[in-house]
């Protein structure tokens, strides 16, 4: 069996699709030291509980870096050949940037441009938000559009892309060999 060994991987999926768990299990299976770059902030009790649940799912080997806005700087400082870094998640990072009035498109471009220079492998977790209804307000539509552009840019820049649906991973990039016959 041939295994992929990408330097950068984008894991996309819907809410509660199992993408974070799958990315974490992939990092757990690596001989490298697992590191998590967390982008979420506990703005309320429910979010604090989510963050605590995610923390409880990781064992003591995991190291944590919190980077709600400076993801590029955190990656540059954290990535190393002997580490596997999971970024969970691009969606919260993007929301944080937009709510802070930062240039989201510029930050996404800077992030994708920086990928080849990272000193070790990285797994990005991101939500697929474009499969639902069109949001009814401008902010939500702007966010959905920015998230779609971020996922496209990361998908182009990363060596591999996996979509997780109902806890099941499906390789998107590099594309699996088609089994189509006429």
Answer whether residue 149 shows pLDDT above 60: yes
- Are the beta carbons of 157 and 129 closer than 8 angstroms? no
Answer whether residue 171 shows pLDDT above 50: yes
State pLDDT tens for residues 8-64.
Answer: 999 999 988 999 999 999 999 999 999 999 999 888 999 888 888 888 888 899 999
Whole-angstrom distance, CA of residue 4 vs CA of residue 81 = 17
* 3-class DSSP state of 129: coil
Residue 68 is among the residues annotated as catalytic for this protein: no
For residue 49, is it left (φ>0), alpha (ψ between -120 and 50) or beta?
Answer: alpha
Whole-angstrom distance, CA of residue 6 vs CA of residue 162 = 12
Q: Where are the beta strands (DSSP E) in 47-103?
A: 63-66, 83-88
Answer whether residue 176 shows pLDDT above 80: no
Answer whether residue 1 shows pLDDT above 50: no
Does 106 or 1 have the greater pLDDT score? 106
Whole-angstrom distance, CA of residue 10 vs CA of residue 86 = 10
* 3-class DSSP state of 4: coil
- Choose, from 7, 21, 26, 54, the residue flagged as catalytic: 54
All domains of the chain in start order, with CATH: 11-164 (3.40.50.300)
Does 52 or 118 have the greater pLDDT score? 118
Mean per-residue pLDDT, 86-103: 96
Which pLDDT score is estimated for 181? 65
Which pLDDT score is estimated for 58? 87
Candidates 88, 30, 27; CA nearest to 54 is: 88
What's the chain's average pLDDT?
A: 92
The pTM of this model reads 0.92
């Amino acid at each position: 069996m041939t295994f992929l060994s990408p330097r950068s991987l984008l894991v996309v999926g819907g809410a509660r699709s199992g993408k974070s768990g799958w990315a974490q299990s992939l990092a757990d299976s690596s001989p490298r030291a697992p590191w998590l770059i967390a982008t979420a902030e506990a703005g309320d009790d429910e979010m604090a509980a989510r963050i605590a649940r995610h923390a409880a799912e990781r064992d003591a080997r995991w190291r944590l870096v919190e980077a709600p806005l400076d993801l590029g700087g955190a990656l540059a400082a954290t990535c190393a050949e002997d580490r596997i870094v999971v970024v969970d998640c691009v969606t919260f990072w993007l929301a944080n940037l937009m709510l802070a009035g930062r240039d989201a498109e510029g930050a996404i471009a800077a992030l994708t441009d920086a990928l080849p220079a990272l000193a070790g492998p990285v797994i990005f977790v991101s939500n697929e938000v474009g499969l639902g209804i069109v949001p009814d307000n401008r902010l939500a539509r702007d966010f959905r559009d920015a998230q779609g552009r971020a996922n496209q840019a990361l998908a182009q820049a990363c060596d591999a892309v996996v979509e997780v649906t109902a806890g099941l991973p499906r390789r998107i990039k590099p594309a699996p060999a088609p089994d189509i016959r006429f």
